[in-house]
Amino acid sequence: MQRPSPHPGFYARKAAMAATVVGATMALTLPTVATSHAAPLNGEKDSYRLGEGHMGISAEKETAGKERRTVGPQDTSGVQGIDVSHYQGAINWGSVKGAGIEFAWIKATEGTSYKDPQFSANYLGAHDNGVIRGAYHFARPDASSGAAQADFFAKSGGAWSADNLTLPGVLDIENGPSSQCHGLSQAAMRTWISDFYDTYKARTSRDVVIYTTANWWNTCTGNWTGMSAKSPLWVAHWTTGSPTIPAGFPSWTVWQYTDQGNIGGINPVDRDKFNGSRDRLLALANNTTLAKPRVDVP
């Protein structure tokens, strides 16, 4: 039987598909330009897909239009750190350590299925170069329970060991992909956070660190004070002087003060400051009483 002739547009589509395949192949084989991003290129948008969550989504929105892209590091005194994910690409952790970075938190997971593709390399690289490091989980309260996400995190990089180089895990909780509070009421959000905390504590014996902004916490939890005696606070506020902290927390333990750092060839990268000495940072890592943050924040 004679096969019917193709539709007139068939060959045009085939040619377009072939061009696409060739272009994609060339993109994979050509040398990669050495660039890195603190956030995805669409970081200013309100929506994001699974895997695109990153520290600073809320801070980006809150500082939009304030010339933040031209502002460099604000407070490089004291104990300095960074936070990274796959957006920074391959990292030379020896250069990071050589630049004076003492600690780093590294994205491990998001939701209950996404694992950051650079986590293992970053986690090992930091450890091998003497950078005190920990893992962070980007929360998706609209997608599944806090308990389910904490369990996934603890099993996928968020575990802890008293080896002098491992910090407790971080719950990165900020703007949702379609609404600021992920579609949850303040009461429901407080329950979600409590469930995450309880499960993570049961899996690792550690209090999870909470990363957020003052605006997000106050809006989405209703100025909740229920975590202030449990979780160390990591506040994001890209500013000079000192950060504004969420209601209910007496002080900050870590401050993310800019997303425009340049450390060890990583540019841009989020920069962080620890509230205390290196001994206090080690105490946080090793779960000793010295880990309690100062209240006399400058």
Question: What are 52-77's pLDDT values in tens digits?
Answer: 999 999 998 888 766 555 556 678 89
Average pLDDT score, the chain: 84
Strands 254-263 vs 233-236: parallel, antiparallel or unpaired: parallel
Long-range contacts of 227-233 (CB under 8 A, 24+ apart): 227/193, 227/197, 230/197, 231/171, 231/197, 231/207, 232/168, 232/207, 232/284, 232/291, 232/293, 233/209, 233/293
Distance CA 39, CA 259 (A): 9
pLDDT at 19 > cutoff 50: no
Per-residue pLDDT at 68: 55
Q: Output b/e per residue, 40-49; b: 16+ Cβ within 10 A.
A: beebeeeebe
Lowest mean pLDDT among 2-16, 118-132, 189-203: 2-16
Question: What are 135-162's pLDDT values in tens digits?
Answer: 999 999 999 999 999 999 999 999 999 9
Per-residue pLDDT at 64: 72
Question: What are 63-114's pLDDT values in tens digits?
Answer: 876 655 555 667 889 999 999 999 999 999 999 999 999 999 999 999 999 9
Instruction: Out of 62, 172, 259, 272, pick the active-site residue.
Output: 172
Q: Is 259 a catalytic residue?
A: no
Q: Is 52 a catalytic residue?
A: no
Q: Is the pTM of this model over 0.85?
A: no
Per-residue pLDDT at 61: 85
Mean pLDDT across the stretch 31-55?
59
Per-residue pLDDT at 66: 63
pLDDT at 229 > cutoff 90: yes
Q: pLDDT higher for 216 or 32?
A: 216
Instruction: Out of 110, 151, 174, 259, pick the active-site residue.
Output: 174
Residue 137 tokens read as 């989980």
Rg value, the chain, Cα = 21
Instruction: Out of 52, 60, 83, 259, pick the active-site residue.
Output: 83
Residue 27 exposed, middle or buried by CB count within 10 Å (0-12, 13-18, 19+): exposed
Q: pLDDT higher for 274 or 65?
A: 274
Q: Is 83 a catalytic residue?
A: yes
When pLDDT is cut at 50, 70 and 90, the band that residue 293 belongs to is low
Distance CA 20, CA 239 (A): 44
Distance CA 183, CA 13 (A): 42
